[in-house]
Structure 1
Amino acid sequence: MDAERLRRLLLDQQIATMPELKAALGTDVDMTVFRKLRALAYHSSYSHRGKYYTLDEIARFDALGLWSCRSVGFSKHGTLLRTCETLVSASEAGYATDELETVLCVGVKDALRKLAREGRIFREQVAGRFVHFAADRAVRRDQGRARQVWDTQPSALAFGAGVRVVPDELKAAIILFFSLLDERQRRLYAGLESAKLGHGGDRRVAALLGLDPGTVATGRQQLLSRDVDLERVRRRGGGRKPVEKKRPR
């Protein structure tokens, strides 16, 4: 019964803090809340020092295993440390610190240093900055090769299993289409293209469209978390005008 009370609160709010959960149960004891949460399959946030909680049935994790609600980040991988380790190890071309911060929207410098010290990831200087790769040597070798392609071809985009440079004709068409959109539509379109590319998409789309990677990341996160004001899309009076049928004379 108490667990169901927490479930109803979280279904209503999507996320909640420990004080809110304790208030729902009428207790001052953290362990009481944790005992009830364990029966519900819950997640604690990797951002905000883990102070927020949600349920597995609520979270809508993206392809990277991430979900954001009201700027609070959750990961199916668990803590920030574990999330950084998993994303770096599974990445196509490793992560520089700023790239991973763009994806997670939190500072990761300390977490990456700790993982490197413990040998859980590999840290290497590439083109004047540190890039983090998988601890596994074979995986790290493939990531390093992909990183070389990215650094020498900043407009390289992934199509299927390969990597190629966007042809000039296609690039011109994309930029032309992009110029027809308003500011909000540009952000969402850039976010969509980044989500399709996967890891490194924010940086590559930003380079192609002349945007800040943070803007692309914001658009991507809004789409993946469905944080889009549909009322602004479906404006009153918008859309195709009804066709008035003419009566035969």
Structure 2
Amino acid sequence: MKTVRFSAERLLALFQQTPVATLAQLKTAPGTDVDLTAFRKLSALPYRTSYSHRGAYYTLDTLAHYNSLGLWSYRDIHFSRHGTLLDTAARLVTNAPAGYFTAELEALVQVAAKDALRQLVQRGRLDRRECQARYLYCAVERERRQQQWAARQAQQHPEDDLAAALVLFYSLLDEQQRRLYAGLESLEWGHGGDQRMAQLFGLDVDTVARGRVELLSGQVLRQGVRRAGAGRPRVEKKHPKS
């Protein structure tokens, strides 16, 4: 029995007529009723599946006009250079200077994203913390997450130039310096300072308290300077017997 072969050129001709197609159209173009055959031919092309409509639409990367975020919409059908909605949400949140609230991300992707964000947090691909009775979604990497939180805090109080300056300076420090600086500002603030600085800089209250205690006790290790007694033990020189 002779095997019937289908050419991907028929799919290219289809996409020249319409930039977005359904699976039914993909099967009709080469004249097959088998899903696997259509997908096998489609795999030879730089295609993309919509992250909206449960992935029911297809296009070619060469036809999509992605914006600076890697998103493209054709009518009410949405595509992403990053792939699925999960992958897209993870990339956009991680790259966002101040993270995203759910509503902010949904305004960009133009579909519901609450469930996708919840799954990403559960899978350890994103982190979240409460901010003004809402969840702010941030990168999972610690340093990036702290930068996003600090930037968001500065946005929440644009009239407070001093707070914005503190957050900016804090973002330039290394890990030990950030802890000590947060502790210093907590001392300056007085009662409730640990909680206030933790909120401002996106730290745990215990981290701020640790920095404050280190400053008060003087137990601060200068960068590049070892504590007394640290390092390899001294080796005494041996003199040859006469």
What is the TM-score with the length of structure 2 in the denominator? Answer: 0.62
In structure 2, the residue matched to 1:5 is: 10
**In 2, distance between residues paired with 1:38 and 1:22?**
13
Whether 2:113 is the aligned partner of 1:117: answer no
In structure 2, the residue matched to 1:37 is: 42
2:82 to 77, 83, 96: 77
After TM superposition, give the deviation of residue 106 of structure 1 in Å.
0.3
In structure 2, the residue matched to 1:62 is: 67
Instruction: Give RMSD over aligned pairs.
Output: 1.7
Give deviations 1:190-215, integer Å, cap 9, x for gaps: xxxxxxxxxxxxxxxxxxxxxxxxxx
Instruction: Give the total of aligned pairs.
Output: 156
Q: Which amino acid aligns with 1:34?
A: F
**In 2, distance between residues paired with 1:76 and 1:150?**
29
**In 2, distance between residues paired with 1:71 and 1:149?**
35
Q: Which has the higher contact order (CA 8 A, sep 6+)?
A: 1
In structure 2, the residue matched to 1:181 is: none
**In 1, distance between residues paired with 2:78 and 2:68?**
14
2:137 to 105, 116, 132: 132
What's the secondary structure of 1:81's corresponding residue?
helix
Q: Which amino acid aligns with 1:67?
A: W
Give deviations 1:11-46, integer Å, cap 9, x for gaps: 221000001111112111111111111111100000
Give deviations 1:200-241, integer Å, cap 9, x for gaps: xxxxxxxxxxxxxxxxxxxxxxxxxxxxxxxxxxxxxxxxxx
What's the secondary structure of 1:25's corresponding residue?
coil
1:146 to 134, 148, 151: 151
After TM superposition, give the deviation of residue 2 of structure 1 in Å.
2.1
1:87 to 67, 70, 92: 92
**In 2, distance between residues paired with 1:100 and 1:112?**
10
Report which of the two structures shows the higher radius of gyration computed on alpha carbons. 2
Q: Which amino acid aligns with 1:6?
A: L
Matches within 5 A, 1:20-35: 20-35=25-40
After TM superposition, give the deviation of residue 146 of structure 1 in Å.
1.1
Matches within 5 A, 1:102-113: 102-113=107-118
**In 1, distance between residues paired with 2:105 and 2:35?**
32
5+ residue gaps in structure 2?
Answer: 1-5, 160-167, 169-242
What's the secondary structure of 2:8's corresponding residue?
helix
Q: Which amino acid aligns with 1:78?
A: G
Indicate the larger mover: 69-78 or 25-34: 25-34
What's the secondary structure of 1:2's corresponding residue?
coil
After TM superposition, give the deviation of residue 113 of structure 1 in Å.
0.4
In structure 2, the residue matched to 1:223 is: none
2:52 to 11, 36, 47: 47
The runs of 4+ residues in structure 1 deviating greater than 6 Å are none
After TM superposition, give the deviation of residue 57 of structure 1 in Å.
0.6
**In 2, distance between residues paired with 1:40 and 1:49?**
21
Indicate the larger mover: 49-58 or 25-34: 25-34
Q: Which amino acid aligns with 1:52?
A: Y
Q: Which amino acid aligns with 1:21?
A: L
